[in-house]
Chains A and B, each alone.
Chain A
Amino acid sequence: MIIVDRRPNPKGKSLGNRRRFIERARAEVKGAVMDALRKRKITDTETGEKVSIPTKGIDEPSFRHGSTGGKRNYVVPGNKEHVVGDEIERPQSGQGGKGGDPADSGEGSDAFEFTLSREEFLDLFFEDLELPDLVKKRLSETASPELSRAGYAVSGNPSNINLIRTMRNSMARRISLKRPKLEEIEALEEEIERLAHTGPEMLWREAKDRLEAIQRRTRAIPYFDPIDVRYNRFERVPKPNIQAVMFCLMDVSGSMTERMKDLAKRFFMLLHIFLVRRYKTVDLVFIRHTSTAQEVDEETFFYSRETGGTVVSTALAEMDRIIKERYPLDAWNIYAAQASDGDNFGADSGRCVQFLSSLLPICQYFAYIEVSEGIDSFGDRRMDKTDLWRAYAEVAPAFENFAMRRVGDPAQIFPVFHDLFARNKAAIVNQEP
């Protein structure tokens, strides 16, 4: 007999088959992914997805006997009360109570469920977004100084004393200078006590002298000396911030259709994936607005409907408030993405510009996405620019970290995203024919 350990064999032997399977069921899987997308949370993009697809396209048919008609015999176990001639009602089809027929079709259910890995999910997710080879993005990383441990110091703040180091120095000093030990003193004291009662006086006196000498020495060599003390030393080193907060701002007034929200959601998702890869922690803040703005959870943000007018500046004001309250600039990188259909209450656009001008200097990046119904890409509607677009267009040139684009179709999301997040605009222009 030979025993072979196959466990170290390369894994993923079935990967090729799996790829073929997903390719085969592409249309179905894709539909399921898009469905799942509508349901899942923005923050979920980092995990895989369980999808359930109809078995229609992935049948493996073979010639089979039908399940009804004709004469059949079944031999089954477990007779309890039947005798020859008994009649039994025919079980409803699908029950299979009298199974054992060849027609068992294996996994013949109508839905087929399996789990996509994260990569597969993103692949399918990005598929109609025409994912370019690589997203080359270099955002300026703000560096804020941070204290970092850097060895020990002989001077410093008492709260920074390093006890271990201090004790070690003290012990070394005590040993090297031969500071008498406590036991030594105690033993001597005991001896003196004993001699006082019984021993000859000469010995007692001698012992007393010895004790005095030892005590003198103990006093001269302190347990702690200022030269023992060590302090933790800190240095200020510039450190990139590793946390970011992403503000999602969206107009939820009646004029925003589900489709527009879906477009916005895709954009938010992309931004989130992007940020999560770069920062340790990414906070999400959802601000929705009609004529007033409020911070809400993701659920409410995408799914609850509101009626009312549209005053965009309220959302910017809310964002400003939240930053001041919760996100100190030295600790957080601030990203914002705003989605709107461009409608705004007439006189409000001016205020928006004002707010924006104050927000932009503290933001890493601010993207404004104007979603519209239908396939028109930017360019077609250059003539009838919306209020908000016109207002923002005034601010745009002054700030490098501000970008605005129009999106009318899911296919445009990724190019727009890519475009927005390419630092070296010139290089991008060169790449595009």
Chain B
Amino acid sequence: MPDTIEKGVPLFEGADWDYDKLKVAFDAIEKIAVEELGLDTYPTQVEVITSEQMLDAYASVGLPLMYRHWSFGKSFAYNEAMYRKGLQGLAYEIVINSNPCLCYIMEENSMTMQTLVMAHAAFGHNHFFKNNYLFKQWTDASGILDYLAFARDYVAKCEERHGVGRVERVLDAAHALMDQSVNRYARRGPLSFAEEAKREQERRAHAEQTFNDLWRTVPTKATLEGLDSKEAAELKQETNRRFGLPEENLLYFMEKHAPKLEAWERELCRIVRNIAQYYYPQKQTKVANEGCATFVHYEIMTRLHQKGMLTDGSMLEFLHSHTSVVSQPDYDDRRYNGINPYALGYAMMEDIKRICLTPTAEDREWFPEIAGNNDPYGTLRDAWANYRDESFILQFLSPNLMRKFRLFRVRDDAAETNMRVDAIHDESGYRELRAALARSYDLSRREADIQVVELDMAGDRTLVLRHAVYDGVLLDEKTCQMVLRHVVELWGYPVRLIETDAVTDAVMKTHNLAPGT
């Protein structure tokens, strides 16, 4: 294809950028993205910001609007100190999953970097956000900004009315439970944030009514003593039904059923868990999402260069930045910090393209559906739309790539003195390696699996949480105690956390915490 294209004029020369150049570059990128790669994106709004504003965005978990909380101040102070010391550079861009897609670019980027950033964020990420099933299912791109504005104002109003201290207390507790406060399985249609804000009032009224009813029907100690085992079992069943147990979403449970919370405190729990839910797809698609964006920017930049729209100097600058982004240090390297999602994601995309175009015999055996189909972009678009990291790796990681990364699996069993290598990049290890790597991206395994399982309605209202333990990996004792304190804070009565083996159900450890201790 490149040989048929007449050489174009460079879009820009030199490092400085201005609005006209941005516009020209954006249009050129868009042409390639839409016509040649077939991307489908939300309209884009590019926002130019300063490094200080970038630090601001860092502090509020990358969102342009956020309610006030000390932890954001902490992370601002931290990032600022790191940045000032030169220990940490700032990202070139931040992109918000919203409609229109907000794409922040820093003023000090060179024009080449701005081009790269627009290709990466405004098309790569943007396409992924719009098309991936998780984002479609869980997030409401057109409502998120309004919802965040609502959240910010609501928190501010609460602070005014109830004092900063009380709001902070609830938010602290809610933040601690954030990871365990997402719905992992869809129960109803996608959330509509606009509806959320509107319904806040009516939901509150409703919750108050049902809530009172619930607690009035709680049996007292006296009536309980007369119960036989069958009636006790019935009571338990009734409780479970009423409270929807077991419940995987801790903040949802607190919002609906914690007896001592006031209405505004419930709303705060809801805000925090809605934001957690908003991030849930992003946490599950780091490799696929970054891989998609990196692949897209590489394709676009290369094509621009081929068409003569990018000078050789710019191309070199881009390649320098690109290679450092997709570098993967070895496990024994000092810089090693886990598998780099950019490196793995980008390598997988390139690999898929290779399999589609020039498959080897091995590829044909492993990927009969796509090998040699000559439709690399269609195949990739399908992969971007229908997979999350776990399934994506399980489906598309090829032996070729495992060899290239020289992956191997180490088994670390606390019962043995040494760790043992039990699979490497060879014929007998490919499948195991791939499955193990995929599993390590499974959020439900990566994050502690904790659910509300029981409620002692007959006694002292102890809330029982269960941690499903896989492979004997228990919770970190210190942080567990601190989080439980927050749970007690919200629940208002004693809390028990039981760690039981996920397979055998054997109790491995129990933590108890009562209010006032």
Contacts and interface: CB of A to CB of B under 8 A. Distances in A.
B290 interface: no
B473 interface: yes
Interface string B70-89: 11111011101100100000
B125 to A, nearest CB: 15
Contacts of B469: 70
Contacts of A62: 175-179, 479, 483
Given A14-B59, A63-B180, A70-B472, A77 B48 contact: no
A52 to B, nearest CB: 10
Contact of B73 (A21, A63, A69, A86): A21
Contacts of A58: 70-71, 74
Nearest to A77: B405
B46 A3 contact: yes
Contacts of B107: 7
B201 to A, nearest CB: 26
A25 B107 CA distance: 33
Contact of B55 (A14, A65, A75, A90): A14
Interface string B325-365: 00011111100111100000000000000000000000000
B482 interface: yes
Interface in A100-137: 100, 102-104, 107, 112-115
B421 A23 contact: no
A59 B74 CA distance: 10
B103 to A, nearest CB: 9
Contacts of B429: 84
A65 B433 contact: no
Interface string A1-41: 11111110101011011111111110000000000000000
B473 A70 contact: yes
Contact of B331 (A9, A24, A78): A78
A197 interface: no
Nearest to B448: A63
Size category of the B interface is: 35 or more
B414 A69 contact: yes
Contacts of A14: 55-56, 59-60, 72-73, 76
B475 A65 contact: yes
A5 B48 contact: yes
Interface in A40-79: 58-79
Contacts of A21: 70-74, 76-77
A90 B412 contact: yes
A22 B473 contact: no
B332 A64 contact: no
B412 A98 contact: yes
A80 interface: yes
A20 B479 contact: no
A73 B409 contact: yes
A88 interface: yes
B221 interface: no
Interface of B: 19, 22-23, 26-27, 30, 43-50, 52-53, 55-56, 59-60, 68-74, 76-78, 80-81, 84, 100, 104, 107, 122, 164, 168, 172, 175-180, 328-333, 336-339, 405-415, 417-426, 428-429, 433, 436-437, 439-440, 446-448, 450, 467, 469, 471-477, 479-480, 482-483, 486
Interface of A: 1-7, 9, 11, 13-14, 16-25, 58-80, 82-90, 97-100, 102-104, 107, 112-115
3 closest A-B pairs by beta carbon, nearest first, are A78-B330, A21-B73, A70-B472
Given A21-B70, A78-B405, A100-B338, 19 more contacts: A1-B46, A3-B47, A7-B50, A14-B55, A21-B71, A24-B70, A58-B70, A59-B482, A66-B476, A67-B476, A74-B440, A76-B409, A78-B330, A84-B426, A84-B428, A90-B418, A99-B336, A112-B78, A115-B84
26 contacts: A1-B44, A13-B53, A14-B55, A17-B59, A17-B60, A18-B77, A20-B70, A21-B77, A61-B176, A62-B176, A65-B475, A67-B476, A68-B414, A70-B469, A71-B411, A71-B412, A75-B433, A75-B436, A78-B328, A78-B329, A83-B421, A84-B422, A85-B421, A89-B418, A90-B417, A114-B81
